[in-house]
Structure 1
Amino acid sequence: MLKRTLFAAVLLAASIAVPAPASAAAVTIPAFYTPPATLPAADGALVRTESLPLALSLPGITGTLPGTATRIMYKSTDASGGPVAVTGAYVEPAAAWRGPGARPLVVLAPGTMGQGDQCSTSLALQKGLILGSEQGQTTISIGYEVLALYRLLAKGIAVVQTDYPGLGTTDRVHTYVNRVDQGHAVLDAARAAKALPNTSITAASLVGLYGYSQGGGAVASAAELQSTYAPDVRLKATYSGAPPADLAAVTAAIDGSELAAALGWSVNGFVQSEPALRPLVDKYLSDSGRAALKSMSTMCVGDGIFGYAGRKSSSWTTSGQSLAEVTAAEPVLRAFIDEQRIGDRKPTGVVRVATGVRDNLVPHGQARTMAADWCRLGGNVVYAPIGQLESGSALLNHFGPLLTDQGTAVDWLTHRLAGLPALSTCAILPVQP
């Protein structure tokens, strides 16, 4: 099992690390990522920009990436209604857009990168490989989302990638899988990209959203929030792969898995977003649990795999209960998690929901339920169950479709942005797996 996990981490270029670092690795975060004391009033307003040199190559891809990149910081609104600075990157394609109308824009919402600022996707675009080491603590982070980015740029589609609140920016902890924070950050990334000078996108450019795993949840949330939060964003279509739509189901599934560290990232972010949860967390967390959460707050996904794969959250509580059991027993926690649910609001535009039928890390069933709920609300949904063999590894079961479905997903989104219609599959969803 461990060998399969190591292979998956390298093969998928998620990130890799030496075993069990105890605290933040020594990675210098550029000054660009420190937000100013005062932010602009408008959501999506640019705070600062700079040229972003792209990594030269990736396995299987020769030459430079096909475009010119700009690192951006923009203003968004967090779940509490306060201003938040978010970083990311815009890439202007070298390839021509061959579809009708203005060159479209896709917001790429990254999958799980971790919670340390060194894990941000915009840093990974520049470095390709993020290295840090101090007193025996080492971290290595590789931006695997560049594979989808390359495919989109090759189609002549402009791409803006968000880092999400707190991932890169040094003023707060990354609010991992927070529905509102992520949805707002995605929509405001589109606004920020259109505010950049000297690009080929225009006010007429249609917008698409692309995300898998954490990113699938982020773009699904954005599609739900667009009509009320960002009606000016011309959202045409969304690809939501393996979305964590029901965090209660996801929490139970990942506990004891290779990605158990994601439980710590969730708790760290939720306590920051909702301080009223702190007394409950303090009530249940043991000293070892507090130490684990502090350690995880500075880790990339590979660090978390090597340090916490197979750990059960029951080892972090004073009562011996799992985090899922604690949540079920506490109405305040239960209500907070229920509020994170995606699927209760009709999405804007057409949405392709893809989920591996053997995914037992971000469970297939809860993603299918999100699609069915959207259908009942009258959404335009293309539900795409991805066939796969059982691998014996929850990590591989989850990340396999990231690669096997990626070409199809990019082509589907490109066709929508070119104006080709997509027929809803809501009528046949009841007989689909």
Structure 2
Amino acid sequence: MAGTLVVVGGGAMSAPYAWTQPAAEVAAEDFYIPPQPEGVPGTILRAEPSGLAMSAPGQPGVIPATATRLMYVSSDTHEAPTAVVGTYLEPTQPWTGPGIRPLIAYAVGTQGQGDQCAPSKLLPQLVQYQPPLDVIAEYDALALHSLLSRGMAVVVTDYHGLGTPDMHDYLNRKAQAYAVLDSARAALQLPGTSLNPGSPVILYGYSQGGMASAGAAELQPSYAPDLNVRGAYIGGPVVDTEHFIGYNDGKASIGPAFAFILNGIAADYPETRPVLDVELNDTGKGLMHDAQSKCAVAVGLALQQQHTSHWTSSGQPFTAVIDRSPALKTVFAEQRVGTRTPSVPVLISAAQNDEGAPFMPIRDMAAGWCGNGVPVQLESNAQIPTLFGLIGTHNLAFFPSLAASLQWVTDRLADQPAPTNCAALP
């Protein structure tokens, strides 16, 4: 289901994990092994035609576009150059709106942490399966189809570390945002497209992608002022990763999310590794180790509801561990979205009863942006009850938010006045 936060199909956990073990296997395909990332952010390092999944033999593709896989220069969370892979989708439909064809910088929902989970590997086949229980479907295909069928070009980033040898730093505010912004820069430089360097850009994402789109919106004025960004759609975002862990503690999805987050933190911030080594028990370290090679799926295969206290040496919830560790506290604070100000209108969609991405931090982010003069439209869906299991509130909220986002995006590209409910936020 679109926007699924995260559940990993597992198998038994491994023995205690040593931090010196390689973080992830290098992807077998030569394309994904990067050269030295030289050039300014957005520089294309390599590109090649890519396939798109077929609906049935001999039938048109599920996604109405032609695809180009590209590797481009971006920045990691410490501003160092890094290589990221993405996919540019040139629509087969004409653009019927005003001006030149726009570009959607699309940030996907949770894919997982294994290299096989990268969107650029899923788009040609839609489903990736590795026995016994690891599976991922490219659930963003519905939104991609909706955008492309309206004649909008789309570039989909894999994010930092998916497909490439680096660890994917899941829910890292800056790395995700930079990957999205630089994917747009790269697409605008790609030869043979219907775009040009001044094409209007919309930032777009749900779930993990919502957080990435929000981060990109507030970092764009300083990091990528060259982009002609017209607005940002931010659906069901994770705003505060520490709050996210506490809010989801005890739910079936917390184990994989917890592991993905900590794997990224350990890779990006070596000063946290001694703390994690002391504070996590063997089960917690094993969970992290196993998650490195897994994808996110829409059902809780082989998982039980657990609490983060099951994975700490002290038996305390992990939020208590964060609170007493200055190193972890600082790192988690760095991931909080809403500390800067976008320069473009934003549409934020969130379910008030979301069982995964909590609503109140989202509202607080919206209120902060409103206070700084940003035209914010916060759409809160209070109709969907809190649901758990195969189809949760977070999943179901994706569909009405998708429908609302398409008209909002179209209006921004037509230079219509941006709606705002800052005076009376829900």
What TM-score results when the alignment is normalised by the length of structure 2?
0.92
Counterparts of 1:400 and 1:168, CA distance in 2: 29
Q: Which moved more, 1:303-312 or 1:181-190?
A: 303-312
Q: Of 373, 379, 385, which residue of structure 2 is paired with 1:384?
A: 379
Q: Which amino acid aligns with 1:403?
A: F
C-alpha distance in structure 1 between counterparts of 2:170 and 2:47, whole Å: 24
Alignment-derived partner of residue 11 in structure 2: 20
Amino acid at match of 2:348: V
Give the letter aligned to residue 30 of structure 1.
E
Root-mean-square deviation (CA), in Å?
Answer: 2.4
2:400 alignment counterpart: 404
Letter matched to residue 207 of structure 1: V
Equivalent in the alignment of 2:34: 35
> What is the rounded CA distance, in whole Å, between the counterparts of 1:14 and 1:70 in structure 2?
27
> What is the match of residue 79 of structure 2?
81
Q: Given that residues 107 and 161 in structure 1 are in contact (C-alpha distance below 8 angstroms), is that contact kept between their aligned partners in structure 2?
A: yes
The separation in 1 between residues aligned to 2:109 and 2:80, in whole angstroms, is: 24
> Which sits farther off after the overlay, 393-402 or 232-241?
393-402
User: Identity rate of aligned residues, in percent?
Assistant: 38
* CA–CA distance in structure 1, aligned partners of residues 220 and 175 of structure 2: 13
Q: Does 1:420 align with 2:385?
A: no
Q: Distance in 1 between matches of 2:319 and 2:380?
A: 27
Q: Using the alignment, how far apart are the partners of 2:8 and 2:173 within structure 1?
A: 28
Residues 73-152 of structure 1: pairs in structure 2 closer than 5 A: 73-133=71-131, 137-152=132-147
| 8 Å Cα contact 1:328/1:334 also seen in 2 | yes
Q: Are the aligned partners of 1:13 and 1:142 in contact in 2 as well (CA < 8 Å)?
A: no
The gaps in structure 2 that reach 5 residues or longer are: 15-22
Aligned equivalent of 1:185: 179
**Which SS does the other structure have where 2:11 is aligned?**
coil
Shift of 1:63: 4.4
Check conservation: 1:39, 1:85, Cα contact below 8 A: yes
Describe the SS at the equivalent of 2:129: strand
Separation in 1, partners of 2:303, 2:408: 36
Distance 2:204 2:304 in 1: 28
Residue 190 of structure 2 corresponds to 196
Offset at residue 305 of structure 1 (A): 3.3
Can you list the C-alpha shifts for 1:19-73, whole angstroms capped at 9, x where unaligned?
A: 536579999742211112x112210100111111100129xx9744211100111
Paired residue for 1:235?
A: 229
Cα deviations across residues 398-432 of structure 1 (Å, max 9, x unaligned)? 12111232122122112211222212211121xx2
Q: For residues 148 and 29 of structure 1, do their structure 2 counterparts lie closer, same or farther at Cα, with a shift above 3 Å needed?
A: farther
CA 99–272 in structure 1, closer or farther in 2 if over 3 Å, else same: same
Which stretches in structure 1 are left out of the alignment for 5+ residues?
1-8
The answer to whether the 8 A contact 1:79-1:180 is kept is yes
3-state DSSP of counterpart to 1:427: helix
Aligned to 1:211: 205
Equivalenced residues, count: 414
1:13: Cα distance to partner? Answer: 8.3
Q: How does 1:57-72 map to 2 (within 5 A)?
A: 57=55, 63-72=61-70
Residue 246 of structure 1 aligns with which residue?
Answer: 240
Cα deviation digits, residues 96-117 of structure 1 (max 9, x gap): 1111111000011001111111
Distance in 2, Cα, partners of 1:323 & 1:151: 40
Against the structure 1 CA distance between its residues 21 and 83, is the aligned structure 2 distance closer, same or farther, given a 3 Å change threshold? farther
CA distance in 1, matches of 2:408, 2:341: 21
- Helix, strand or coil at the partner of 2:105: strand
Q: SS of the residue aligned with 1:216?
A: helix
> The residue matched to 1:301 in structure 2 has which SS?
coil
User: Quick check: 214-223 or 376-385, which moved more?
Assistant: 376-385
Encode CA deviations 1:134-160: one digit per residue, 9 max, x unaligned.
xxx342221001111100001100000
Q: Distance in 2 between matches of 1:224 and 1:104?
A: 20
Higher helix fraction: Structure 1 or Structure 2? 1
CA contact (8 A) 1:29 1:118 kept: no
CA distance in 2, matches of 1:101, 1:280: 54
Question: Could you tell me whether the CA contact under 8 Å between 1:216 and 1:241 is conserved in 2?
Answer: yes
Q: Counterpart amino acid of 1:105?
A: L
Shift of 1:310: 1.2
Write the distance in 2 (CA, Å) between the matches of 1:392 and 1:290.
Answer: 30
Aligned-partner Cα distance in 2 for 1:27–1:118: 11
